[in-house]
Amino acid sequence: MSNNCDVIKDKLNNYLVTVEMSSEDKVLRNMLGIVNAITRTNYYQPHKHIFSFKFDSSKVLDLPKPVPFAEAFVYSRNFEAVHLRGGPVSRGGLRWSDRAEDYRFEVLGLMKAQMTKNSVIVPVGSKGGFYVHFTEEGLTRDEYMEKVVECYKNFLRGLLDITDNIIDGKVVYPKEVIIYDKEDPYLVVAADKGTASFSDYANSVAREYNYWLDDAFASGGSAGYDHKKMAITSKGAWISVTNHFKTLGLDVQKDPITVVGIGDMSGDVFGNGMLRSETIKLVAAFNHKHIFIDPTPDPLSSFNERLRLFNLKGSNWSDYDSKLISKGGKVFERSSKLIKLSPEIKKLLDINDNEMSPEELIKAILKADVDLLWNGGIGTYIKAKTENNLEIGDKANDNLRCNGEEIRAKVIAEGGNVGVSQRGRVEYAKKGGRINADFIDNSAGVDCSDHEVNIKIALSSAVTSGKITLEERNKLLNDMTKQVEELVLLDNYKQTEAITIMQLSPTLTVNILSQFIDILEEEKVLERENEFLPSAEELNRRAISGEVLTRPELCLLLSYSKRSAYHELLNSTFSHDKYFDAYLIDYFPEMMQKKFYNEILSHPLKHEIIKTVTINKIINQLGGPLISIVKREIGAPLCDIIRSYTIICEIFDLDDIWETISKLPTNIDYNVKIDMFTEITKLMRRGISWFIKNLKHPINISETIEEFRVPAQNLRKTVGTLLVGETKIRFEEKLNYYTTSGVEESFAATIATFDNLISVFDIIYVTKQTSGNNKEIAKAYFAISDMFSLDWLRKACYRQLNDSFWRRLGIQSLKDDLYDKQ
């Protein structure tokens, strides 16, 4: 077959030499490139009325970026479709597109966003879309939808025609398909615009093909997790809201907050979101039909009315009890020519006009001076002033769109997708607004689906072996709903906390972040222009002027750091260490951990899950930029850094201490918490360096923990009493700072000792070499430090200019040398 292909290619290339016009030559070579990029097709399968082709996208010339890992094109008389994947293990929704001219461009943008969003879960991002070739003309609504559903199912049939299966644990190629790529058995889909209720149709096709994932093929079906019923997406986004207001000293479950919103109570994200707190004062909202304004709502009665509407099937704002709307408020039709404004509405929105068009009123709502703007709808409503509507690509909302600098809400929460453009987010954040990004705020949905898929995969072997029946599995899935929710929301909490730490940490300077962006570009993980990240010149200007990176920019860096780390670990074997089996077990709900222990340990995606969990953990705590710096400073691969990080966390119970800081009450200033988190990360960083430099490789995690844990813990309890001179004074100053800030004394003392805890490993090492006593060696160790002012010298190193990699490397080498000499 290969020789035949080579002969044909030679003939075509010889012909291309004879082509005289450059434009014709370019078109023909591009067409040849597309043919050469085909890796599979169902064309040779008999009795097919749909045709599907799989491409190695990297071989297609001049594709717009980002270039997918692979893509499929499916065509029939009634529809055409594309499916773009970011990697071999990827997931994302399939949408029913209405963009005949550029649906691939639409899907590419969605895949790019999904890649960023999926950094918290096992698979990378993918996205698909189909466009139907017929209209509703001459059909009833039911007949039309029946044809659309059949197109959707045929789209999936086209994909499964060229997808590998797994039978009895072995990968099986599809019949009558010539394979030009590697084994590729993982295909998972999800709901999207227009396909929210199609999961059962997808799973029926999977069963038709006896596909190994069965009803894990499409999450959220009749035997899956109902996201609206769980309110999982809105609960995840509400964690972002809670975090934003916590930094303002407000508790959104107790303190009243004024809110404007996009959506209505029948929607999942908006409806569930507006039921997250009884202290919400929803003063205005709009959807595609109505504008709702309630200038001075009573929080409790308005909450109860929103709850009634949420439970009313197909409700709209027009169903809101007008008797419960405060003076001057009303529900208006968006179809109205003009809307008369009451004095109360004019005061609420800070406008002088007596009447406005519906579009003008909506823009005034978006610009309202409120606590929170909650986006639970579809569309992009906020851009940057430097962007035009054509760049946004959401024509339906062109007349409503505002600029980020015009938004006066203190906080924006993006429960919906792309409600704000990235440049719009940055513009809003630069003027003091608090915002993350949609791929952070609404990631709970994909996280929940990923848990569902992996749970079903784990349980499938138990069903096959007869350990449980399918009905018992379905009951277990339902019984575990609350535990799945807790696992997902914990991911949300840790990720938003990580962004806040990145934003407020004194150690993450603009120079360090700038160099991290350079590293990501060198690794070809990131193209800053495509993600609207600042240029090197702009970052230099910010560093000089004392400006920082905004939260939306940090959100991107957090996500890309996880993607970069996962890419580096693709071929790493660190996940084979039995120590990490506990990470795998803890990924699953507690209700299935014991009974299905063996099924979990034999999970087909075991190593992918362990790597994802580990990467999320280390980057949420240490931060991608610091890990990248440590890698370069000590010249160690990421897998060794992970092993050392795991050891130091276990020896000093750092995860428990981290959680205690996270749960400190809101009356303790958030900057105090940041200082405490910084002390932990400094200890982690030093510990990583010490273990990599002083232990035999590959580092055995369990043996090292067993060797150092007990003596290190004993020294931790007494180290505060062994300090002398300047070191003791600094310890007492830190202890006083924490206790006067409201931190309980014993816990404050624990954190205050961290600056000296790294020394315990040197002390233990010397004790073993000399057969001495840990306590006596420790006394001598700290006495030597005081005698030669070594601690003062190390602190002096911190005050040196460290605006480049080589300066930081020199300073770090000097500090390490001082520790070694001590």
How would DSSP label each residue in 223-280?
TS--HHHHTHHHHHHHHHHHHHHHTTT--TTTS-EEEEEES-TTSHHHHHHTTS-TTE
b/e map 353-367, b = 16+ CB within 10 Å: eeebebebbbbbbbb
| Domain end residue (candidates: 635, 653, 677) | 635
Q: What is the pLDDT of residues 484-519, one digit of tens each?
A: 999 999 999 999 999 999 999 988 889 999 999 999
Reported confidence tier of residue 220, pLDDT bands at 50, 70, 90: confident
Judge whether 238 lies within some domain.
Answer: no
Q: How many C-beta atoms lie closer than 10 Å to residue 508's C-beta? A: 22
Reported confidence tier of residue 230, pLDDT bands at 50, 70, 90: very high
Catalytic residue, chosen from 54, 112, 127, 611, is 127
Residues 564 and 500 placed together within one structural domain of the fold:
yes
- pLDDT score of 787: 67
- pLDDT score of 758: 83
Q: Which amino acid is at 249?
A: G
Q: Compute, in degrees rounded to 10, the torsion defined by CA atoms 155, 158, 159, 161.
A: 150
- Residue 758 or residue 36, greater confidence: 36
Whether residue 684 contacts residue 507, with contact meaning beta carbons closer than 8 Å, is answered with: no
Tokens of 137: 């003309």
Q: What is the pLDDT of residues 256-282, one digit of tens each?
A: 999 999 999 999 999 999 999 999 999
| Domain end residue (candidates: 409, 442, 475) | 442
Residues 374 and 519 placed together within one structural domain of the fold:
no
Whether residue 680 contacts residue 621, with contact meaning beta carbons closer than 8 Å, is answered with: yes
CA quadruple 555, 519, 491, 460: dihedral sign: positive
Residues 183 and 218 placed together within one structural domain of the fold:
yes
Residues 436 and 457 placed together within one structural domain of the fold:
no
Q: DSSP per residue over 308-359, as a string?
A: HHHHSTT--GGGS-GGGSPTT-EEEETT-S-EE--HHHHHHHT---SEE-HH
Residues 627 and 673 placed together within one structural domain of the fold:
no
Reported confidence tier of residue 226, pLDDT bands at 50, 70, 90: very high
d(Cα 103, Cα 192) in Å, to the nearest integer? 14
- Residue 786 or residue 343, greater confidence: 343
* Strand boundaries in 99-211, DSSP class E: 124-132, 165-167, 170-172, 188-190
Tokens of 600: 């979990």
Q: How many C-beta atoms lie closer than 10 Å to residue 630's C-beta? A: 23
Q: Which amino acid is at 556?
A: L
Helix/strand/coil for 168 = coil
| Domain end residue (candidates: 635, 664, 680) | 635
Question: To which H or E segment does residue 618 belong?
Answer: helix 606-622
Judge whether 424 lies within some domain.
Answer: yes
Tokens of 799: 């005050």
Judge whether 78 lies within some domain.
Answer: yes
- pLDDT score of 791: 72
Reported confidence tier of residue 788, pLDDT bands at 50, 70, 90: low
Most confident of 715-724, 787-796, 804-813: 715-724
What domain count does the chain have? 4
- pLDDT score of 722: 86
Tokens of 756: 């000296």
Judge whether 802 lies within some domain.
Answer: no
Judge whether 234 lies within some domain.
Answer: no
- What angle do the packed helices 670-694 and 654-662 form, to 10 degrees? 170
Helix/strand/coil for 139 = coil
Query: Which whole number is the average pLDDT over 59-66?
Result: 88
Q: Which amino acid is at 491?
A: D
Question: To which H or E segment does residue 40 belong?
Answer: strand 38-41
Find where tokens 């690509």 sit.
393
Reported confidence tier of residue 8, pLDDT bands at 50, 70, 90: confident
Residues 55 and 102 placed together within one structural domain of the fold:
yes
Using only C-alpha atoms, the chain has a radius of gyration, in whole angstroms, of 29
Q: What is the pLDDT of residues 373-424, one digit of tens each?
A: 999 998 999 999 999 999 998 899 999 999 999 999 999 999 998 899 999 9
Query: Which whole number is the average pLDDT over 524-532?
Result: 91
Residues 459 and 430 placed together within one structural domain of the fold:
no
Judge whether 241 lies within some domain.
Answer: no
Degrees to nearest 5, angle at CA 88 with 638 and 493: 60
Residues 468 and 601 placed together within one structural domain of the fold:
yes
d(Cα 758, Cα 708) in Å, to the nearest integer? 12
- pLDDT score of 593: 98
Residues 719 and 771 placed together within one structural domain of the fold:
yes
The question of whether 246 is a catalytic residue gets the answer no
Judge whether 229 lies within some domain.
Answer: no
Helix/strand/coil for 398 = coil
Whether residue 313 contacts residue 359, with contact meaning beta carbons closer than 8 Å, is answered with: no
Q: What is the pLDDT of residues 312-343, one digit of tens each?
A: 998 999 999 999 999 999 999 999 999 999 99
d(Cα 163, Cα 174) in Å, to the nearest integer? 6
Domain that holds residue 531: 452-635
Tokens of 229: 């019923």
pLDDT at 70 over 60: yes
d(Cα 645, Cα 636) in Å, to the nearest integer? 13
Judge whether 809 lies within some domain.
Answer: no
Mean pLDDT of the chain: 92
pLDDT at 251 over 60: yes
Tokens of 383: 């851009």
Closest CA to 149 of 85, 94, 109, 224: 94
- pLDDT score of 776: 84
Query: Which whole number is the average pLDDT over 43-72?
Result: 93
- pLDDT score of 805: 58
Domain with residue 361: its CATH number is 3.40.50.720
Residues 273 and 421 placed together within one structural domain of the fold:
yes
Span of 465-469, 629-633, 741-745 with lowest mean pLDDT: 629-633
Tokens of 533: 């990240």
d(Cα 324, Cα 31) in Å, to the nearest integer? 64
Residues 203 and 318 placed together within one structural domain of the fold:
no
Share of the chain above pLDDT 70, in %: 95
Share of the chain above pLDDT 90, in %: 74
pLDDT at 734 over 70: yes
pLDDT at 1 over 60: no
Residues 367 and 479 placed together within one structural domain of the fold:
no
- pLDDT score of 719: 87
Q: What is the pLDDT of residues 588-606, one digit of tens each?
A: 999 999 999 999 999 999 9
- pLDDT score of 450: 94
Q: How many C-beta atoms lie closer than 10 Å to residue 78's C-beta? A: 16
Domain with residue 148: its CATH number is 3.40.50.10860
* Strand boundaries in 42-175, DSSP class E: 51-55, 70-75, 79-85, 90-96, 124-132, 165-167, 170-172
Query: Which whole number is the average pLDDT over 715-738?
Result: 90
